[in-house]
A and B are shown apart, each in its own frame.
Chain A
Amino acid sequence: MSVDVLNRREMADKLESVMTSSYNTLKEELRIGRNLSLLKTYLLEAHASQSPTHSQLLSFIEKTFSNDGRRRRRLDAAIQETQDENLFTVTGSFGRDRFVFYIDTTDPRFWIAHSISKSDISDLAIETILGGNTHLDSMWMPMELLTRVLHLGVSRGLALDFDRRYLDKPTTKRSKNIIAASDSQPANRETGPISIGGHLEYVKMQLWGEGADRIIEALRSANLTNSTTISKVRLRTEDEQDQDLFSLADVKFDGKVTGRGTSFGIYNSLLLDVLEKYSSAIRSAEQRFRMHWEEVKSTPSAVGEPCYITLGEHGIANLEQFCARVFSGNEPFRLMGLPVRRNENYYTVSAVDLHVNQRVDFEVSRNTLSVFLPRNACGNSLLRLYTNLQHYFSSDVKAIDGSGSEVFAF
């Protein structure tokens, strides 16, 4: 397949024209035409070496997108270099449906992948690429970050997405096998949902317009704080000197951003601001919570501390079920472990984070999930767990350090 952009300048021009067309079409027809699709951007976190050469990066991207038996769905993709050493294009297809990604790897760890292919195809391609991939993952943005992002522009609305059904659903034989050592009947098994207290089981809500914040406040004051997890924010950012230059972006918790408007430059600046906040949080988490002992002036010294995730006012009623689900090895947590019951109020789990194939230790009480990251841990492990607990367990979970201060205050 031919490369249709040769450098980031050409990419920006092409993407800006798509943003403008889709904005005008949406404004006039209130829907996207069949032949036009929105600009979509996927913010990804890669595990390349810290300062790779161009050829190392190319080889890493090829490895990341190759069919290596890790995926359920076959993906045929071709990677092409451009004149710009940090820009690569990935083209491929599912049957008749083609997809193209423009991947900006200026930061070799945090990639920006743009696409103007149809949303269902680009989403499927990303899902396929990330499934079982130990080199690449989504950026996981907790509510605190999305709320902060909203303040980078003018709020145009937000969406809520909370679903307790996954964790509440009784364990299947498969997940039971993961937690238990025998097929015999369980004794002392706790029954019922994983937590008690008033909460909605499933919430999906989109609130577009300037009054969205007030509706959220109303829901929270109605004692529904534990099920009002923000999953997406929409904001308008514009040039102070020229208000005709603007972007309207939807930023989702899993790192997918959709944009339209008149300026790719403004849209791109927003992406860079989001990336900067996310990458700072990741690096700070790695610095603070990688627990180990190391030589300081030839004396071993304790470095790092556990990260504690407090589990809201009601905590966990059914610890066994919670552990079975979270440590099943399945999406979205991707943690594979064998929970050991220490007593009825405490479980320990030494799990493998399947995103990076790395062991992480956990201790679970009814009110606290303690996370013990190893020496070379990836901060993504913590953000993924925390963000998904907000979406699948409670909006009220909080990550704190040993002094009780919130960890993710962006």
Chain B
Amino acid sequence: MDQALKSSLFSRKIVNLFAGMAYGSPDLPRTFRDAGYRCHSIEQLFQVNATQHVQPEIVLCSDSGEHTLLIEAKSGANLNEAQLERYALVDNTALERRAFTTAASAKKHNMLIVGLAQWTDRLKMGSSLAPSGLRVLAVAEGDVIGEGVGGDGLTSGISCIENAFSNDKLNEAFDPILSINWDLVPNTFLPVDHDAEDWEFAQFLFPELISVILEAKEKVGADVLAEGFIRHWPLIDNRYRKRLLERIRQVIQRAAQKRFSPYIRIGVKGTPKNEIQIKIPEELKTNNSKLKTDLQRRFKDLMSDLQSPQIAMLYET
């Protein structure tokens, strides 16, 4: 039986793909950028009525196309009927007044669910439980999370399997498949989520922390570091921020115990929980060159401790 991809990895890939297309990455199809779409939000929760909310993974809006696209990624075979019903309640008022889109882009909308081609039949079955003409069901084909396989542009991409968009430019682009080279999907728009590996947090977190150390600051909050590399931090609701901060704290704590022990401490008695205390070793204070080299070496060793598969891949025998 086919194994489902780790949900978080697939979701991030889809969010980064659509953000990358809206931001006009030269390595990706230009359809969305040329049709005037911009990234309205990532992981934004908004109410559809007084008691129900939705949280699309990414929302793209086009004023010129008078269209909003709410996108969800599903790596598994099943769709959540209750969630589909909540999305069916989204209308132009909810978009404009509660998700804060522009009035122009709220005029028409679609919800796009992107699943995996191997689950085509099951996804269609799930969708039939809560039918909606505004829901476009699509599947990703090719080696979505593979290593260096890329795609030939003919069999790799996203194709629609149910319904059509309320924007003809998108229908043309997806007919029969929106070609994607999955190797070239960016990572930075949504760098981590709560399920990301420790090394994925560390990859972004430690350059941010190293820059603070080089500035000779004495302390920094984990939330300040988070906001530096998770650019959509202001959109994230408080509960989810706490989850992410907990992950960040764990990675910093591990580094503070070993590789970065001469430099950082976290959870010091009498200080706020997320405050990182910074101290540059005396012998390095007047030797900036040695300080940089030492920090880079420690970062490299930390990534090794965290078993970054990418780094190991480069140097395995």
Contact residues of A with B, CB < 8 Å? 68-70, 72, 132, 134, 177-189, 291-295, 299-300, 302, 305-306, 308, 310, 320, 329, 336-338, 340-346, 348, 350-352, 354, 357-359, 361, 363, 365, 367-368, 370, 372, 374-375, 400-404
Contact B203 A338 (CB under 8 A): yes
Q: Decide if B231 touches A329 in the complex (CB within 8 Å).
A: no
Collect the chain B residues with CB atoms within 8 Å of residue A341's CB. 310-311, 313-314
**Residues of chain B with a CB closer than 8 A to A189's CB:** 314
Are A340 and B289 CB-contacts (below 8 A) given A186-B315, A329-B296, A370-B25? no
Number of interface residues of B (CB under 8 A): 62
Which A-B residue pairs are the 6 nearest by beta carbons? Answer: A402-B24, A344-B148, A69-B286, A181-B304, A181-B311, A70-B288
Whether B100 is near chain A, meaning CB under 8 Å from some CB there, is yes
* CB-nearest residue of chain A to B184: A365
- On chain A, the residues within 8 Å of B312 by CB distance are 181-182
Would you call A180 and B300 a contact (CB within 8 A)?
yes
User: Could you give, for residues 198-222 of chain B, a 1 whenever the CB lies within 8 Å of some chain A CB and a 0 otherwise?
Assistant: 0000011001101100110000000
Stretch at the interface among B37-45, B67-75, B133-141, B265-273: B37-45
> Taking A302-B39, A359-B211 as contacts, is the C-beta distance between A350 and B24 under 8 angstroms?
no
| Closest Cβ neighbor of B316 among chain A residues | A187
Q: List 24 interface pairs A-B (beta carbons < 8 Å), by A numbering.
A: A69-B286, A72-B289, A134-B214, A179-B314, A181-B303, A181-B304, A182-B311, A185-B315, A293-B234, A299-B100, A300-B41, A305-B23, A306-B23, A310-B26, A337-B207, A340-B310, A344-B147, A345-B181, A345-B184, A348-B203, A350-B229, A352-B211, A359-B229, A403-B33
Which residue of chain A has the shortest Cβ distance to B214 in the bound complex?
A357
With CB as the reference atom, state the residue of chain B lying closest to A71.
Answer: B288
- Which residue of chain B has the shortest Cβ distance to A403 in the bound complex? B24
Contacts of B63 in A (CB 8 A): none
Closest Cβ of chain B to A340, distance in Å, is 4
Residues of B within 8 A of A343 (CB): 146-150, 183
Give the residues in chain A near B316, CB-CB below 8 Å. Answer: 184, 187
Query: How far apart are A397's CB and chain B's nearest CB, in angstroms?
Result: 12
Distance to closest chain A CB from B133 (angstroms) = 29
**Chain A residues with Cβ under 8 A from B300's Cβ?**
177-178, 180-181, 338
Q: How far is the CA of A64 from the CA of B160 in the complex (A)?
A: 59
- Collect the chain A residues with CB atoms within 8 Å of residue B191's CB: 361
- Residues of the A chain whose Cβ atoms lie less than 8 Å from the Cβ of B313: 187-188, 341
Complex Cα distance, B217 from A326, in Å, reads: 27
A-B contact count (CB 8 A): 178
B120 at the interface (CB under 8 A from A): no
List residues 147-203 of chain B with CB under 8 A from any CB of chain A.
147-150, 181, 183-184, 186-188, 191, 203
Query: With the chains together, A178 CA to B210 CA distance in Å?
Result: 14
Q: Choose from A185, A337, A375 the contact partner of B317 (Cβ within 8 Å).
A: A185
Decide yes or no whether B27 CB sits under 8 A from chain A. Answer: yes
If A299-B100, A340-B308 touch, does A357 touch B150 (CB 8 Å cutoff)? no
Beta-carbon contact of B183 and A308 below 8 Å: no
**Least Cβ distance of B93 to chain A in Å?**
16
Most buried by B among A185, A294, A361: A361
Contact status B25-A180, CB under 8 Å: no
Which residues on the B side are within 8 Å of A293 (C-beta)? 231-235
Known contacts A365-B184, A372-B188, then 13 further A-B pairs from the complex at CB < 8 Å, ordered by chain A residue: A68-B286, A70-B289, A132-B288, A188-B313, A294-B234, A338-B300, A341-B313, A343-B148, A343-B149, A343-B150, A344-B183, A368-B25, A404-B30
Provide the B81-110 mask, 1 if CB < 8 A to any CB of A, else 0: 000000000000000000010000000000
Asked if B254 lies at the interface with its beta carbon under 8 angstroms from chain A, I say: no
Instruction: Say how far A376's CB is from chain B's closest CB, in angstroms.
Output: 10
Contact of B188 among A344, A361, A365 (CB under 8 A): A361
In the complex, A335 Cα to B147 Cα: how many Å?
A: 27
B124: Cβ under 8 A from any A Cβ: no
